[in-house]
A and B are shown apart, each in its own frame.
Chain A
Amino acid sequence: MKLELKDVRYVYAPGTPFEVEALRGVSLIVDPGEILGIVGGTGSGKSTLVQHMNLLLTPTNGEVLVDGVNARSLKKSELRRRVGLVFQFPESALFAPTVEEDVAFAPRQLGLDEEEVGERVRESLRALGAGELAVRSPFALSGGEKRRAAIAGVLAMKPEVLVLDEPTAGLDPATRQELLALILGLRRAGISVVLVSHDLDEVAEVADRVCALEEGRVRAVGTPAEVFYREPAQAPVTVRVSSLLKGSKPEIGAPVRFRETLDALRALQGV
């Protein structure tokens, strides 16, 4: 499915002295099967933007299109099944006595039979490498396990687009890398992923395209190399290092991912 935001404006607390214009005309496309990274400083509008993707927030102006159809004309429940949104710190919403019951909660609301619900629960836990957590209490899990259980709950709705708002915040580095590997696996399964992150290094590793927000506007959108090399001061470490060397060593090219960068640096050293 193709998700499109057209000139979306959003104002918090309109008509009050505390009015804040969080989005000032954002146009953006999420293509089927891609990982789109959304980056930007705190307060740039990242979280506000992604809450428009399933109309949890309705634009003050502008529109959201799902395969060319205005999202407002779709049933909300249907839209939210197709566009799964995982909030920041989603584990705070875990509530059931076991992980499998928690993951089953949302698909059960779809009116599926128990067999289908069970199948989906197993599938989404497996996709997140969390199969062994099924019968455990969500409250006795580590931070990374809780995070995966919470994401599995959204995945069990079989969304076509999965929106993850800061999915790795607060996780230890090894768990973070595992979660990124799982996100790549979801894309291979045909799900589009919107990854909001303030960690540019991790966006550099997985994103197909990057959208950089600044003060509620799109500053740049394109491949990671296009976006990050345009403004190396606001780029991942790999790009910052390569940009510093580019002046005297133009042959380094424009590597973004860690592996590419390492290979380019090795080539520079004649290793």
Chain B
Amino acid sequence: MKKNLQVIKYRYFSSAFSLILLIAGIICFVAFGGFNAGIDFESGLSERVQIAPVGFTATYTGDLDMVLSVSSNTLVLTERGADGVKTHTYDVAQYSTVQDVVNALNQVTGVKASAVDGTLKTDALVSGFGFPATLSTTPVKVNFASASTDVTIDQVRAALKERNVNVQTVGSVNQGIFQLKASTLENDTQEIMEADVAASLSKVFGAENVVVLQSDFVGPRFSSTLITSSVKAILIAVLLILAYIWIRFRFAYAISAIIALLHDILMMLVFITIFRLEVSSTTIAAVLTIIGYSLNNTIVIFDRVRENVELLKGQSLDTVIDTSVTQSLTRTIITSLTTLFAVVPLAIFTNGSIQLFALNLIWGIVIGTFSSNFLAPALLHWFNKVKPVNVEKLKKHSANDIA
């Protein structure tokens, strides 16, 4: 017979290990001021930008109030002065190219328009922020989308790489319109973030070609009610599990398993806090997965203890626990391995939220295995002193009534 693992003998080491991690986690939590929440849990910036070439620029040197505006995709120039209001409309039917519009604008006294790319079509007018624009000596630029832009989403992603921005195409792919979502960094105001994003994009595409179509603050995807309701749900689940294990096993098993479970959840949070991992929707998934995994592990070992309490009558509970953990060892290792096999490649080959998901899970599997094999048995040892595992009352399962 193999030599037993001395799980109970080293119980103080395993408890101390957990306690140290927990304290480290609390210190980091206080020091960092909470979790590093991602845009799923925090408000952030949602911006729609279009990368489009400049069609023409226009200046005005005169006394009138000259405003260039866009109304239903048509360029309108409004002169406002002592003599009243005069509007010039440059519709697509009459002025099909940018050059046509430029020529027409130059007819207006004081307005000087110069084409940057006169071949662009007028119907591809891009009207973003900054419209209506008052013309002055500083040139106002007007952008027009080219028939098909060669800006790819990968270029935009690369340009914004440093900021962890979520980028999506909008509409058909070749329009060059992109939806950006970015979480706020500490002390960021909307202005700072907008400027930051604009600067990153300008570096790659040129400041004149980046048109902001819309920019707004968006709230978190998951509200605080979701978090409180989820925590409530988990607590209720824990109570029901406690009841189930109490009925199927004994109270000492039930309370030990539940504490081990709560320990695993805490340890996941400690890991996320210490390494400043971004908390996203996948984090919730990871924590819930580990709840299932660790609970499963603990019950398998406790089931062995329950069985051995009967088989090894006369032995002390400590020996029974050590024997049970040892007997389950091969199974523990293989199951941990297969689970890790499924996750480790993700951590190595991917990045972003999937990699975070995988890292959370790997830690969870390690800590879950640790708690089932070392912590839960130690707890069982202690709780047994409070409320002894009564051998006689254990139900015996006849092997024949199944299958």
A, B bound: no
